[in-house]
């Protein structure tokens, strides 16, 4: 997609956003408000803008005067310093590869540069392409995009248990809190109302920011699986906690520093990454092929009711 197109569409929009009707999904409402036509392609563009901004910080012109610092940048959460880059650039052995903790560089597709151009990566075969497109898809489901799964908005192709995906990261409350805050600030930077930002933040917090949460289905037609992303000792314990269902009774150990040398460019030695390139190869191909239709899910309402 061309960034000039998006900028033009954005420029045509005033900063004052009206109240969203409760029956209109957040995704659909803001797609129409910001990009005019509520098509699958525009919904996917909205998720591209939302995720890219959350990941690298606000970069679109204009925004409504709210800054997002970015998940990959050092920041603070409630006064506590947070550095999430180390989980993405291969510095830590924090990726769950078939039950084994390994170091993976998820920024092998050009890092921030393509995101600034409203793209997921500079190369569809990169691990970065897989991760970032999975985030578009997953958050599109969370925000109840009506065209999720239709041609132009591929359904989620990643792993469905967030507890498994984040198992070896040993993420603390401030780290998960910072991530969720950046998603909220990204949305706010586009003019999403306070009420809607709060609703998204509350849903993300309930689903992912407690340790030992019982299994729950998140995606349309999903089966109940473990979803706690906050797993470190300082994470609040979920209501109805089922720690015994989690590996090590829900008490993970902190990830080791990568044993391979991390290059100044943020790339790691091939031995650490080649074994994992296959993780996303299928996904990239499936995305290119397009997929069948999926009924819109009342997922967001479900998340709020938890």
Nearest by Cα to 128 from 89, 74, 70: 89
176 forms part of the interface with ligand HEM (CB under 6 A) = yes
Tell me the window of 1-9, 28-36, 157-165, 250-258 that interacts with ligand HEM (CB under 6 A): 157-165
304 contact, one of ligand HEM, ligand NAG, none, CB 5-8 Å limit per kind: none
Binding site for ligand NAG (CB under 6 A): 37, 39, 58-59, 63, 65-67, 74, 83, 108-111, 122-123, 125-126, 149, 155, 220-221, 239-240, 254, 256-257, 277, 294-295
175 contact, one of ligand HEM, ligand NAG, none, CB 5-8 Å limit per kind: ligand HEM
Decide: 287 and 125 in contact? Cβ < 8 Å: no
122 contact, one of ligand NAG, ligand HEM, none, CB 5-8 Å limit per kind: ligand NAG
Q: How many residues bind ligand HEM (CB under 6 A)?
A: 24
Instruction: State the nearest-atom distance from the C-beta of 249 to ligand HEM, in Å.
Output: 22
> Nearer Cβ to ligand HEM, position 88 or 190?
88
Nearest by Cα to 204 from 178, 233, 232, 241: 178
Instruction: Tell which positions 223-252 bind ligand HEM, by CB under 6 A.
Output: 229
How distant, in Å, are the alpha carbons of 82, 106, 181 from that of 77? 7, 23, 8
Q: How many CA atoms lie within 13 A of 17 on its CB side?
A: 24
* Cβ-proximal residue to ligand HEM, closest one: 158
Residue selected from 180, 258, 287, 299 as contacting ligand HEM according to rule CB under 6 A: 180
Residue selected from 29, 30, 88, 136 as contacting ligand HEM according to rule CB under 6 A: 88
Residue selected from 20, 134, 167, 211 as contacting ligand HEM according to rule CB under 6 A: 134
Instruction: List residues binding ligand HEM (CB under 6 A).
Output: 84, 87-88, 95-96, 106, 131, 134-135, 138, 158-159, 162, 165-166, 169, 171, 175-176, 179-180, 204, 208, 229
């Amino acid at each position: 997609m061309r960034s000039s197109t998006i900028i033009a569409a954005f420029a045509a929009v005033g900063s004052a956003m009206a109240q969203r009707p409760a029956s209109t999904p957040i995704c659909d409402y803001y797609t129409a408000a910001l990009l005019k036509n509520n098509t699958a392609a525009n919904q996917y563009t909205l998720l591209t803008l939302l995720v890219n901004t959350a990941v690298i910080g606000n970069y679109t012109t204009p925004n409504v005067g709210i800054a997002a610092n970015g998940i990959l940048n050092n920041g603070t959460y409630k006064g506590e310093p947070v550095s999430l880059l180390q989980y993405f650039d291969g510095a830590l052995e924090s990726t769950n590869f078939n039950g084994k903790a390994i170091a993976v560089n998820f920024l092998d597709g050009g890092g921030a540069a393509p995101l600034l151009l409203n793209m997921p990566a500079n190369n569809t075969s990169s691990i970065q392409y897989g991760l970032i497109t999975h985030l578009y898809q997953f958050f599109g489901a969370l925000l109840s995009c009506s065209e999720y799964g239709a041609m132009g908005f591929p359904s989620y192709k990643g792993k469905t248990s967030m507890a498994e995906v984040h198992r070896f990261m040993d993420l603390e409350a401030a780290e998960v809190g910072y991530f969720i805050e950046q998603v909220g600030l990204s949305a706010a930077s586009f003019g999403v109302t306070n009420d809607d930002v709060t609703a998204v933040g509350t849903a993300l917090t309930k689903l992912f920011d407690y340790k030992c949460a019982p299994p729950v289905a998140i995606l349309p037609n999903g089966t109940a699986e473990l979803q706690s992303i906050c797993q470190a000792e300082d994470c609040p314990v979920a209501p109805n906690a089922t720690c015994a269902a989690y590996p090590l009774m829900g008490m993970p150990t902190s990830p080791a520093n990568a044993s391979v040398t991390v290059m100044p460019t943020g790339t790691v030695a091939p031995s650490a990454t080649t074994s994992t390139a296959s993780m996303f190869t299928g996904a990239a191909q499936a995305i290119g092929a397009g997929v069948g239709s999926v009924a819109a899910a009342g997922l967001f309402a479900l998340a709020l009711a938890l």
